[in-house]
Amino acid sequence: MSDAVIDMRGVTRWFGREEVLAGADLTVERGSVTALLGRNGCGKSTLLRIAVGLLGRHGGEARVLGVDPEALGVGERLRMAYVNDVTATPGRTRIRDEIELHARLRGDRWDDGHAKELLERFEVPLDKRIGALSKGQQARLRLVLALASRPELLVLDEPALGLDLFARHELMELLIDLVQEEGRTVVIASHLIDDVERIADRLAFIREGRVTHAGTLDELRDRFRRVRVSVEAGGSAALDRAPSELIGVRQVKTDRAAPPDERVAILDDATDELIARLVDLPGVTRKIEVRRMTIREIYLEVLAGKEEEVTS
């Protein structure tokens, strides 16, 4: 296995008879900001909980900070922080008391000056009870508690879930600033592409318990292409078979906004050779357009179900 901060290979996990992870691979390089993107229920949270040692796996290999997450010691756990959308502390607890508790638990890694700076920056009132905070304020508090110990690895599992548009935007702006300032390794799981596209330099798409595509934003834009071609009447059979016969052709579909003699081929491992082979198929009369796909288009293409295929 590699020396990445997180390296998971072929990880499986069952809940009863349901296989939630079906051989998932995830690599998170040191100093990167990796977004794990997937629809609700696809296995994102399960994969991250396994990565930080909160949940066991049923198969595969995993390392976090060089250690099997099922054998993490206190030292490794203090080097990471995990944040989700749940505030587990009783609502009657005052923020000041919660801060003091986390300071004791984190010991020498807790940076009291940094905590005070973050509390001021996030405008979190120390004397309020946690139950009196808005969802946005609770999300900020969870970040303060995670960041004040300056973790090497910060794992964010849907940190903006349940927040309104303005609170989500504010939270992401704060994260962008903090990530740029600190230079730590960050993993953020979400199903909201607009929230993570600006903060992440790497993306990993998870669907049906597997990571299907991963890479930097530029790598993914280079791999995915929309190839628009015209076909002769009744001559699209060879093109329609392309996804099963040509590796790298994801699907061929009709664009409802285009003339009936046009087809769009989606390539997820595009090369000049593959595009040439596609255009040379019987029944294809000419190439109309080849263009890179946007991250949003890739997101919709990879995560949409067959019944929800999106035409851009």
Residue with tokens 């009447």: 233
Q: Per-residue pLDDT for 289 more than 90?
A: yes
Q: Which of 135-149, 212-226, 265-279 has the lowest mean pLDDT?
A: 135-149
Residue 310's pLDDT band, with cuts at 50, 70 and 90, is very low
Question: Is residue 11 a contact partner of residue 27, using CB atoms and an 8 Å limit?
Answer: no
Strand, helix or coil for residue 253: strand
Q: Which helix (H) or strand (E) holds 216?
A: strand 210-216
- Residues 120-133 have a mean pLDDT of 88
Q: Is the pLDDT of residue 308 over 70?
A: no
Mean pLDDT, the chain, as a whole number? 90
Region 31-43: what's the mean pLDDT? Answer: 92
Q: What is the pLDDT of residues 50-96, one digit of tens each?
A: 999 999 999 999 999 999 999 999 999 999 999 988 776 777 899 99
> Strand, coil or helix: what is 107?
helix
Give the integer Cα–Cα distance in Å for 252 and 48.
34
| pLDDT of residue 312 exceeding 90 | no
Q: Is the dihedral of CA 168, 169, 170, 174 positive or negative?
A: positive
Q: What is the share, in percent, of the chain residues with pLDDT greater than 70?
A: 95
Select from 51, 55, 40 the least CA-distant residue to 81: 51
Q: Residue 24's pLDDT is what? A: 97
Instruction: Report the pLDDT value the prediction gives residue 2, as an integer from 0 to 100.
Output: 62
